[in-house]
Structure 1
Amino acid sequence: MFEPDKWPQEKEGYLSRIILTEWSEQSFGLMRLVEIDLGSGNDPRIVTVGGRPIVLYRGALHDQTQYYLYDMETRKTLAIQIEDDWFEYGKNWIPFDADGMIGAVHSFAPFRILQIDPNNGKGRIVAENRNSFNPKAAHDNFNIFRGGSNALKMGNKLLGFGHATFNPWRHHPFLWEMSDDKVLITSASVDFDAIYCRGFGIIDPTSLFYGSDERIVLGICGSERDWFFDRKRCLGGTFRQTV
């Protein structure tokens, strides 16, 4: 753990492994078929592009290559290169199928969309809608509205879930929609309050997919911990040490 203004300078100080696991659903439960270590990084998101499952993820801290894709069909890892010398890669990209290319929402302020070739990793900015809706998080001064799950196409709309980082101990999901004219609409739901009331202050959407009954299913990752400190925050607003 480290404090928000004391990020480690050495690469080894901030490492996490991305493990890709394939499961088979059996009568007795899930059976693990394949497990692949994609290396160090964070925020992996799986999207199906033209029927090909592809993992999009941020590289390790201080990595010379900042973003990668892993093609599950060819089992190849490619570095992503955006055709803009001044482009800031950031993290929490939101991938979607853009007619055989990888689309990705890069940010909400401005609302920026990327297009990436899954065959060579080269990409570019294809749409950018500047807006003044840019509330900042206190701990890092970035927009509080950030990426979350992958996105799905529904008719002429693209939709997904992001997370609003109000505090290092409070992430709340929000739904976003984009129409054909690139207009962005966001909304928050009280449906997640029940999870928050169970002590999970950090609620991060991770995956959005169609279930077997055609209902849309949202996967989330929940945590009781403060983002930077090894402790929990009680609902009453006081801290207690984690045992």
Structure 2
Amino acid sequence: MSTATQPQRVAIVTGGSRGIGRQAAQRLAADGQAVVIAYAGNDAEAEKTVTEITAAGGRAIAVRADVADENAVAELFDTAERAFGGVDVVVHAAGIMLLGTVADLDLDALDRMHRTNIRGTFVVDQQAARRVRSGGAIINFSTSVTRLALPSYAAYAAGKSAVDAISLILAKELRGRDITVNAVAPGPTATALFLDGKDEETVDRMAKMNPLERLGTPGDIAEVVSFLAGPARWINGQTVYANGGIA
């Protein structure tokens, strides 16, 4: 019997310095993967994530990159390949959420979300499609708001609907490569992205919308990422709703 060990899998996690991205990075590191934390600008939080992973015995580095900048994202993948030998998993958790009704939303906010949430997904997925090794996984982030249709979320949900479409079509384009492509669609989750600007009454009301009557945690979502990044080889081209049954 061969005693050769399998090479360590390598994951890039965008938005990996905080919230769901950080928890996903920590979970993948705990699963045995080397992790490249991609972040937009908070050096301290990115280094904190790396420190926590390495203190727990994992391998991690941080790379600053604007996900909508194709040159920065190409360099991100180059860095991952130089540091760890290749890329097996890409978790694209970076995103922004700016709320407003269709009648009142500032169009600059619409353009900012389009650049980060749609163009950013396309740019990251483009490099992932070119670079991820056989047996790998690409995991994008959608939202359960595409089903809930909550007022003031139209622009955000529209961008995430584009993520669903990109994920499904890319899964088909990668035929024969043994690479899965899926999207994770969280419901209300206790992160700064969700909590910022909401009063306690609104948070409590949204927490009770699902049958489990609580907000999700970043750890809940990281469990789904871990599954799709590793054993879930027969789930492909799907949007997986991780929301406690809210919709």
Does TM, scored on the shorter chain, surpass 0.5?
no
More strand by share: 1
Higher RCO (CA 8 Å, separation ≥ 6 residues): 2
Task: Report the TM-score, using the length of structure 2 for normalisation.
Answer: 0.29
Q: Which has the larger radius of gyration?
A: 1
More helix by share: 2
